[in-house]
Every structure is written in structure tokens, then in C-alpha cells.
Structure 1
Amino acid sequence: MNVEPPPTAEVLVTAERPGPRLWQVTSGEHTVWILGTQSPLPQKLRWRSAEVEAAIAGADEVLGAYTVSLRMGSQEWQRTSTTLEEDLPRKVYVRWTKMRDRYIDPRIPTDELLPASAAYLLQMSAFEHNGMTSSDEVWRTIYGLARLHDVPIRPQSYEVESPVTKVSKRTAREAGVRCLVQTMDRLDVDMTESRRRAEAWADGDMKMLRQLARSDQSYSETLARSWPFLSDKDVDRLIGQETTRLAAVIERAMIRNRRTFAALPVHMLMKEDGVLSILRAAGHRVEEPVD
């Protein structure tokens, strides 16, 4: 049965907006300006921030997008099932196929996806269907401004060893299925919240971003805990490890430069036990954008 897609939702954010806000980390005469980024954003969003452009123009260096990849041995985890249909309970699979047909390009193969991969693809496709994009438009703007003002960019890509914890096949399957079910349950709410979050980001509305940041962080961690080769302890350890590493990256930048520009997801900057907490504990001054 063919499922007709709903009309594409109208995106309200189309005009140029005031722009996002900056955090400031200071140590003596050395400063790191941190832009809180947001994804997804409306495809037609045009934002311009004089504050961001001035911070990049006056920087000695721009820290590139922070990315971490997990290195695994070929025998550390092997999938026992061969298709997504085999992974999912019958009712969940039927529901998945209806939502897949509604949102996902039929040219994209989905039969061999892990449940967590299916959840991510479904969410990203639904965003696109509703006029949102999780592409790196913000980073393209940052890199473009850095080139315009002749500011060097320092890449921030790291590879880490996979954890050694053994995860049972049953536990791995249940985590992935749970992630997909939660994604399907929350899809309509996520679309609404994403548009509200994008509007708040473009307007620099810190009060609204703080209200919405918790759900953004919650979904990110749910996705991380759904992968079949990671236990909850592994995820906690990796999050702690990379948060500490990121704080060290910012500290080293303050030593190298008088002025540095960086960008991190808003929900990471608002996390109570996140990178800014580590920098505060180390004696650095952290100034948050005011409401």
C-alpha cells in the first residue's frame, strides 16, 4: 500500500535574523569565543551575526569542527541477523515501514540498517521533509569568514579505541529497537521543538534555548546508548573522556593564542557537568550570553 506523504510544513524562519550568541572563556589576557551551534535549521534560514564575524575577524585561530570516530576490530561485534526486519518485533517493523514510506527516499536502501541507524535516518529524513536541514551550513559560514579574514583553521578530529566491554546480543538488540521506537514516538514533537529551537537560535533567545536544550541532549545520549557494541558504562566513559579532552583543547588554544574562535552544540555548552564546568573548575572565567 502506498502511503501519501503529508504536505510539507511551512517554515517560518526565512528572513535574516539577529543571529546566535557567544560564550566567552577567559584566562588572563587570553580569550576563547565559543559559538553555540544548532542543528537542524530551516533550509531557507539566513543568519548574520556581527558578534560572530567580529570574533572570527579578531581571532588568531579558528578551532575546526570537533569530531570523534570509534575504531573497532573486525571481530569485536558481529551482527547475527541479516535484515532490519529480523531485528524488529513484527508490530514495530510494520510501523517502521509506514514511516519509512512517508519520509525516506525510496532510492535509499534500508533493509540492512541497524535499528539505531534506521532511527537516525528516519529523523533526518523527516527534518528534510519538513523544510529543515542538518547540513553543515553554520560551519560553512564559519570557515568562509575565517578564509575571508585570513584566519587559520586548526582541525579537531580524533579517533579513539573501542571499549572492551562485551554487550550481549539481546541487550544490543533491545537498545537499538528502543531507540527506533522512541524516535517514532517523538517524531512529531521533535519536528515542533526543532523549529522552535531554530527560531530561538536565530534570534539569540537564550531563555528558550535553555528550555529546549535538555530534550536535545537527551536524544543525543539515547542514540549513543543504542549502538550494539556500547554498554551504558562505555557511553558514560566515552562522554567523560571526550568532554575532558575538549576542555584540554580549549585550554591549549588559550595558551597558543590571544584570541580563539570555536563552536560547539548549544546543548553541550548548557550541560551542567560539561566542558564549561571543567574550565570553571580549572580557574578560567566563563561568561554566558545573557537572556
Structure 2
Amino acid sequence: MLKRLLPTICLLLPLTAALAQEATPPAPTEEAASETETILLVGQRPGPGLWKVSKGDHVLWVFGSYSPLPVKMEWRSQQVESILAQSQEYLAPPLAHAGVGFWRGLTLLPSLIGMKKNPDGATLQDVLPADVYARWQPLKAKYIGKDSGIERERPIFVADTLFSAGLKQAGLTSGNDVGRKIDDIVKQRKIKVTSSSIELPMDDASSMLSDFKKSQLADTECFSKTLARLESDIDAMRVRANAWSKGDIEAIQKLSYPDQESACGDAIRNAEFVKNRPGWQNVAERKKALWLKSAEGALGANTTSFAMLRLSDIVGPDSYLTALKAKGYEVVSPD
């Protein structure tokens, strides 16, 4: 329980868009979500093929994770299992951590009370534009129900609760079952694990929590774009989930959607309580630089290595693999 209570802000800071989810072009493509595709594929699915990064006879195989996926889908890839059996090193997904020790965490518990609430007792109706609040009402009724307490929470927290409820009702999950399965294989085979995580300093955790509770957040855009995802993108989410489970990366890239992840991340990254803390700056860039260093180290030391990245970190002009290609490595996409 303590782990869940400790700084909820740590789940939202740069750990959202810049650290988080999938590539997001500007607007939804309605016609791509055909009626037949709105039925989620369940049972055992292989997911996408692997990207091959190489120099000479040294190879790094990269697996692309994706979210959300069907709740009842069981992932099983014989290709991944076979390559992991040959690998000397596993590069864990790059993350950013903001933690405090157990006993220090206990002292912070009183500070967490009221952290999700709007400053000065304001309600959602007080802080949101009238048109955005009107859009929230039917979605609240559909996915959350009668919860008066949520009306006093900050829009960014409400958006997270609403989106999670929407995914659940749609038969989707943002959980990490695929990642856990890969972790299990790595542990069973005792493969060397290299972390590319950076630590976000929490030396002044009490002060940070206090500053957060008093600060205003520009999170209306985050809230509005979350509403847009649930208003227009549920069927397309199913299409993308099916596409990933079938290994159809092209289909995922063709389907665009409102980028609420970036908007929510911006609301936190641009807040005063973060701006005043240098150790919390440029998180995405630092994360990427550390992973690239780890990847080059693995390619230099091993004949076969394996890595897992979010799909958004694999494809596109600013992706991690594009950076490796610019350094002279050969990068081959799956068929």
C-alpha cells in the first residue's frame, strides 16, 4: 500500500509522454476501424517480429512493446524465446525512477493527504472551461458512475482514472504482461540484465509535495485530449491492439489519435515545482542517451543481445534505432 501512496506525481511527471507511450500523430482515422476489427483477438498471439541491429557478426535484437492490448490475449513468441536462449545480455526498457526509502516514505504519508485535490478546494467545474466540463459529464456517467469525490480532483488525475476505466470497459489493458513474461524468461535463463534507468532525485520530497499541492497545473489540454480519446478512438484502439498482436506494425502507424500522453506530460514538466529542480530536467534525452550507450556496449561485447523498447522508441525519425543507424549500425525492420 505504501508503494501505491508514495508520490503519485512520480507516476505522472516525465514518466508519461516523453517517457511513455506510443507515437501519436495528430487526428483519428475513422474509416480504418472497420466493424470486423472491433472484435478483440484473444488467445495466444505472437506480436510483432524483431528489429535487427548489427555491426559485423554482433547482433542486438529489439522487440517492440505496445499498449493498450486485449485483456484476454496471451502473448507467446517462439522467435523471442529462441533468441533469448542465445543471448548473453538483456537491455531492460529505459525508465526513470523517483523513489524514497521505506522509512522516509512513512514520514511522507501525512504530506500525501489531499495531494490529488485541486488547490483551494476548487472543483472540476471551477477549473475547466464550460464546454470541456460538459463533455466530461456523459463520459463520467458511462465509465465511472456516481462519484462525487472525483469532482474535487485535479484534471490530470481525473483523466488518468477515466482513461483506465474506459480501457477496462473496452476489454483493453495498459498492463505489462508481455514485459513480465520476457522478464521471467530472462530470469530463468540467468541472462545478464543491463538497466538504462535514470534516478530522479527526491532529496527534498517533503518540499516537492508541498510545492505540488499549492501549484496550479495547465492540465486542461491533458483532460480534453483524454476525453477525445474516449469519444472517438475506442474502436481504433482495438484495431491497433489487434494489429500489434498479429505483427502488423504498418497498420498501427496508419492509425493516428489525439495525443493526450504528451499533453499530460507537458502539464507536469512545465509546472513550477518541476522547473525549479534541475535533476528533473531533460529526462527523455538523458534516458535515450543512456540506452544508446548500453546498446553500443552490448553490441561491442556480445555476439547476441536482446532489448525491449516501446514501439514509439523504435519507429520514426527521432527513434532510438534511427540514432543507432546514424552511428553506423545496420538496422533491419521485421518482415
TM-score range, shorter chain: 0.7 to 0.9
TM-score of the aligned structures, taking structure 2 as reference length: 0.68
Q: Report deviation, 1:21.
A: 1.5
Q: Within 5 Å, which residues of 2 pair with 1:158-169?
A: 158-160=198-200
Please state how far the C-alpha of 1:202 moved relative to its aligned partner: 0.9
CA distance in structure 1 between the aligned counterparts of 2:149 and 2:89, rounded to whole angstroms: 41
Identify the structure with the greater strand proportion.
1
Cα displacement string for residues 200-223 of structure 1 (whole angstroms, at most 9, x for unaligned residues):
1111112212213x548x443233
Which residue number in structure 1 is paired with residue 107 of structure 2? Answer: none
> 2 CA distance for matches of 1:136 and 1:209?
19
- C-alpha offsets along residues 57-82 of structure 1, whole Å, 9 cap, x if unaligned? 111122223211468xx9xxx97444
Amino acid at match of 2:312: H
Aligned match of 1:251 = 296
CA shift at 1:122, angstroms?
1.4
Q: Which residue of 2 aligns with 1:3?
A: none
Q: Is the 8 A contact 1:13 1:45 kept in 2?
A: yes
Q: 1:256 to 1:110 in 2, by over 3 A?
A: farther
C-alpha displacement of 1:283: 1.1
Q: Output the CA distance in 1 between the equivalents of 2:237 and 2:287.
A: 26
C-alpha deviations, 1:173-208, integer Å up to 9, x for none?
Answer: 4x4111111211231432222211111111111221
Match of 1:117 in 2: 157
SS at match of 2:308: strand
Q: CA deviation at 1:248?
A: 1.9
Superposition pairs of residues 1-291 of structure 1, within 5 angstroms: 11-69=39-97, 80-85=119-124, 86-104=126-144, 110-160=150-200, 173=217, 175-212=218-255, 215=257, 218-227=259-268, 229-230=270-271, 237-290=282-335
Aligned length: 268
In the alignment, the residues of structure 2 paired with residue 246 and residue 179 of structure 1 have an alpha-carbon distance, to the nearest angstrom, of: 28
Cα distance, 1:263 vs structure 2? 0.9
Distance 1:120 1:64, change over 3 A: same
Are residues 255 and 110 of structure 1, via their aligned partners in 2, closer, same or farther at CA, if it must alter by over 3 Å?
farther
In 2, distance between residues paired with 1:153 and 1:109?
43
Q: Deviations over 1:65-115 (max 9, x none)?
A: 3211468xx9xxx97444442432344335424422321376896345332
Paired residue for 2:6? none
Q: Measure, in 1, the Cα distance between the counterparts of 2:247 and 2:311.
A: 11
Q: Residue type of the partner of 2:162? A: L
The change in CA–CA distance for 1:113 and 1:288 in structure 2 (over 3 A counts) is farther
Q: Is the 8 A contact 2:229 2:257 kept in 1?
A: no
Deviations, residues 3-23 of structure 1 (Å, cap 9, x unaligned): xxxxxxx84311323432111
Whether contact under 8 Å (2:194, 2:294) holds in the other structure is: no
Q: In 2, distance between residues paired with 1:268 and 1:250?
A: 13
How far apart are residue 285 of structure 1 and its match? Answer: 1.2
| Structure 1 letter corresponding to 2:295 | I
**Cα distance change on mapping 1:16 and 1:172 into 2, 3 Å:** same
User: Partner of 1:62: helix, strand, or coil?
Assistant: strand
- Per the TM alignment, residue 43 of structure 1 is displaced from its structure 2 partner at its CA by 0.7
Q: Secondary structure at the match of 2:240?
A: helix
Tell me: higher relative CO, structure 1 or 2? Use CA pairs within 8 A at least 6 residues apart.
2
CA deviations on 1:118-172 (whole Å, 9 max, x unpaired) are: 222211210011111111101111012223333233344322469xxxxxxxx96
Aligned-pair CA distance for 1:242: 2.8
Residue 109 to residue 43, structure 1, CA distance change in 2 (3 Å): farther
Gaps in structure 1 of 5+ consecutive residues: 1-9, 163-170
Query: TM-score of the superposition, structure 1-length normalised?
Result: 0.78
SS in 1 for 2:197: strand
Q: Distance in 2 between matches of 1:23 and 1:189?
A: 32
Cα-Cα RMSD: 3.5
Aligned identity (percent) is 27
